[in-house]
Structure 1
């Protein structure tokens, strides 16, 4: 059976609404808003060849205010017509709650109570949108790099103003047709990843994925014979790996490309400029979708720093520690500016699932603090919420869903961002399956 349909990857089949949730600990009084997270949740049996990234989206939300957990709701994102229901990120921008996905599919707008409104055009962004826009805290603008296999070797950099209108869009040529899950932002640049997970036309035609070109590991013959419900992207060992720097107000002709060793990056922690260098902290995978075509299961991934020397035209690479991890987050008041702290979910490499560990990185001191939440628990992405607009970088809380295999239910856990100690746990009426990205949506 497909591993992404078992245990905490398995979908839930009911939508719940619950009020006045039980809380252990104390919810800080300054928290007034909704914690929202989304992930794949197939509405019907997708078959053994299901790819985790292709399940219909379901949003799980908790409303916090006045020191209480006022409600919990989970709702499918209901597609219109032949649309794909977004399943990858959910955030608030320009007064709207948006469910996002990549590869050309449209974002969807949701109500405050998480019911589906419908597709949201986001102005005139070409070729759909992205799952990973980044907001500049100085301007309130949303910056994104979008891709779609229908665009061939073109990707789009777009900027949405604080009202949700497109201020600018730049068409950029890349090597082929790569999957670009994330980008990064600095004060003067947008960072573009052109990496070796690329569109595989043969998978669309029902053929097996392109062969893994390596001498030390071959695709099992049983995999070669399978029929896939494919995510039509796979590892291309002949594809060059590059990082591009586009001046935020530049044209496509202004992009500078810098070669790196082959790897794949789903997620950026943050990026910033240091003199003529551009520093980019990411979670780096050695490869992706080379042998497993149902989900991201190609071994450990590590917090890694790429330092782009724009004078020498070279990139230095440094691994921070040996914790396998994913879903890096930070204080987003520092987007594009120098940061000290970052947070991530510990990952059990065997099976590519999260364990019970939450990590706090000090990238200045070069140290990592690990908090283990207890055997039988599985963490998700934790986002940072500051205690006040002018509070210190790690003064606030981390919040994210944690599944407890012993009870079969999930909690919204709040941790002290400085110490990783417990602040509060909101006990939910059911399970929140393993999913993707979550964000705090403060009450306007």
Structure 2
């Protein structure tokens, strides 16, 4: 009950603990959820999304959103119905102890933390992901924690918040970092679930590499001015922020190369939190991403921050140039594409239209669909007081056209005071949801998710 009082009373003092960001205190299971509209019969699987949700906050004034333990929220869709909603904390050692449960068996590396950023199905394992040196944790089909996962003993360190599964090979690619390492680590895991390749790329100054980009032949490394500094009082508690003296550069690593093959290209100072996709043709690499002029520089308070804008970068590794083109003046984040188009040319992309200002309620005032070939954008706006999270594209069938499918996202409904799972037709995003699955609770503002299709 003490945490409830803290959460209710500290929203103004710490916005990460109030309003739509306030953590939930219970794990629930709800079945046969009410639906407005019609869930497409082809949607057979689970929509899962991860995000920070602290079990207990020792010092509310010092809490930051990135530090909350992970909680996965999921909805199962099948045969035109929403059969269940579940939310479950990821049981790291600390979470298990706080909940009065036994610590799970399994490997431990340098850092143990309940992953709070992403969720990914790979090689038969449902993995929750986080950066900074921690292992992923595996969940079962009901979202209960199986334990930490080290790719059958082959993962040399931690994993990463973002991974790319190459549609051509089925292999998983990631770029991992840890503030204690003098390098970042490019990882490739085979379809057997074992890491078959890792490349340690030396870097200085402990850069934060939240995301990376992958093409058919190259890996893009974003070595930018956001970096970690070890706390002088507690060296085990590094903090990150904008370093104006740190140069910005883009690394181009051949997928089968080693560290000495990286071509580093100087770019203007900026930060890339999330990239949409990258591909290459005739020696040029094209990447679409959300670019910040600055981030984590201490000039803004609470949830207020500089905007990111969708840009197209054209990278010429031979000439050593990076040409930038802004595609939209709206503030955007959480860019995504059809997962079948990862590493390849794509026409469409999806993003969240972000609000700006310290008093913003959540992360999204609308969902966006970009036609990158025509240079147009469609938007579905949320109602006043609402919020929408990352949109995940789900194809209508394995061989369907690139935008023949649906965009799934959690959205807060201010009239109900609870969250809906939205199902929007990708070909007519602006028309609004074809179905709303009404969850019985509010899902706090979260990070990333994925659609996990049923196997049968």
Fold shared, TM-score > 0.5 on shorter chain: yes
Task: From 365, 372, 375, give the equivalent of 1:366.
Answer: 375
Distance 2:48 2:345 in 1: 27
Tell me how far 1:302 sits from its aligned partner: 0.5
The answer for the alignment partner of 1:159 in structure 2 is 188
The answer for the alignment partner of 2:211 in structure 1 is 182
Cα deviation, 1:111-160, whole Å, max 9, x if unaligned, reads 110011111112422220101010100100000000001112x0100101
Q: Secondary structure at the match of 1:354?
A: coil
2:138–2:146 contact (8 Å) kept in structure 1: yes
1:50–1:294 contact (8 Å) kept in structure 2: no
Tell me how far 1:310 sits from its aligned partner: 2.1
In the alignment, structure 1 segments of 5+ residues that lack a partner are: 208-228
2:49–2:73 contact (8 Å) kept in structure 1: yes
Matching of residue 76 in structure 1 with residue 89 in structure 2: yes
1:4–1:10 contact (8 Å) kept in structure 2: yes
Q: Secondary structure at the match of 1:419?
A: helix
Tell me how far 1:295 sits from its aligned partner: 6.8
Distance 1:433 1:423 in 2: 23
The answer for the alignment partner of 1:133 in structure 2 is 163
Over 3 Å counting, the alpha-carbon distance change for 1:404 and 1:359 in structure 2 is same
Matching of residue 39 in structure 1 with residue 83 in structure 2: no
Tell me how far 1:231 sits from its aligned partner: 6.0
Tell me how far 1:230 sits from its aligned partner: 6.8
1:40–1:52 contact (8 Å) kept in structure 2: yes
1:361–1:369 contact (8 Å) kept in structure 2: yes
Q: TM-score, normalised by structure 2?
A: 0.89
1:300–1:324 contact (8 Å) kept in structure 2: yes
Tell me how far 1:298 sits from its aligned partner: 2.5
Cα deviation, 1:190-213, whole Å, max 9, x if unaligned, reads 111101111112x35369xxxxxx
Tell me how far 1:336 sits from its aligned partner: 0.6
2:45–2:78 contact (8 Å) kept in structure 1: yes
Distance 1:200 1:51 in 2: 16
Q: Secondary structure at the match of 1:273?
A: strand
Cα deviation, 1:361-412, whole Å, max 9, x if unaligned, reads 1111111111113222100001000001111111100001001233210000
Distance 1:238 1:17 in 2: 50
Task: From 420, 426, 433, give the equivalent of 2:437.
Answer: 426
Tell me how far 1:167 sits from its aligned partner: 1.2
Task: From 263, 268, 279, give the equivalent of 1:261.
Answer: 268
Q: Secondary structure at the match of 2:369?
A: strand
Q: CA RMSD in A?
A: 1.7
Distance 1:184 1:311 in 2: 18
Distance 2:157 2:343 in 1: 26
1:39–1:436 contact (8 Å) kept in structure 2: yes
Task: From 382, 385, 388, give the equivalent of 2:391.
Answer: 382
Tell me how far 1:44 sits from its aligned partner: 1.3
Tell me how far 1:294 sits from its aligned partner: 8.0
Distance 1:262 1:125 in 2: 32
The answer for the alignment partner of 2:9 in structure 1 is none
The answer for the alignment partner of 1:235 in structure 2 is 242
Q: TM-score, normalised by structure 1?
A: 0.92
Q: Secondary structure at the match of 1:48?
A: helix
The answer for the alignment partner of 1:149 in structure 2 is 179
Distance 1:262 1:251 in 2: 26
2:15–2:303 contact (8 Å) kept in structure 1: no
Q: Matched residue pairs, number?
A: 421
Runs of 4+ aligned structure 1 residues displaced above 3 Å come to 292-297
Bigger relative CO (Cα 8 Å, ≥ 6 apart): 1
1:280–1:307 contact (8 Å) kept in structure 2: yes
Q: Secondary structure at the match of 1:307?
A: strand
Tell me how far 1:31 sits from its aligned partner: 1.0
The answer for the alignment partner of 1:87 in structure 2 is 116
Over 3 Å counting, the alpha-carbon distance change for 1:51 and 1:426 in structure 2 is same
2:407–2:426 contact (8 Å) kept in structure 1: yes
Cα deviation, 1:36-70, whole Å, max 9, x if unaligned, reads 00100011134111111000110000011111100
